């Protein structure tokens, strides 16, 4: 019995993708790029906020020194300004 060969139909290689696929691909890549830009902006904001936080923490430490010199302590209720003296030092 003779063996039958399979006939495979070959497609010609495309030179470029369709305009529709190109537009969809460009849209996807643009969305990725916008996300990366936004992440960069957020990281820059985060860096600035961390820097600002460190500055404010230093201000608290400096002000604690001022309160300690003026009142002998910096343990103060920030809602009403009452000094929180230890119970045995009133």
Per-domain boundaries in the chain: 21-89
User: d(Cα 21, Cα 17) in Å, to the nearest integer?
Assistant: 6
User: What does the pLDDT read at residue 6?
Assistant: 78
Instruction: Identify the residue whose tokens are 């300004």.
Output: 81
User: d(Cα 79, Cα 87) in Å, to the nearest integer?
Assistant: 20
Task: Tell whether pTM > 0.75.
Answer: no
Residue 2 pLDDT grade (very low, low, confident, very high; cuts 50, 70, 90): low
CA angle 33, 38, 42 (to 5 degrees): 150
**pLDDT per residue over 58-90, tens digit each?**
999 999 999 999 999 999 999 999 999 988 755
**pLDDT per residue over 9-31, tens digit each?**
777 888 999 999 999 999 999 99
User: What does the pLDDT read at residue 88?
Assistant: 78
């Amino acid at each position: 019995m003779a063996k039958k060969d399979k006939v495979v139909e070959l497609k010609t290689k495309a030179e470029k993708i369709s305009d529709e696929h190109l537009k969809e691909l460009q849209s996807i890549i643009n969305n990725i790029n916008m996300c990366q830009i936004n992440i960069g902006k957020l990281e820059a904001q985060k860096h600035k906020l961390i820097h600002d936080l460190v500055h404010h923490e230093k201000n608290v430490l400096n002000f604690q020194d001022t309160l300690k010199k003026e009142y002998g302590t910096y343990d103060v209720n920030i809602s009403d300004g009452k000094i929180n003296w230890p119970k045995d030092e009133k």
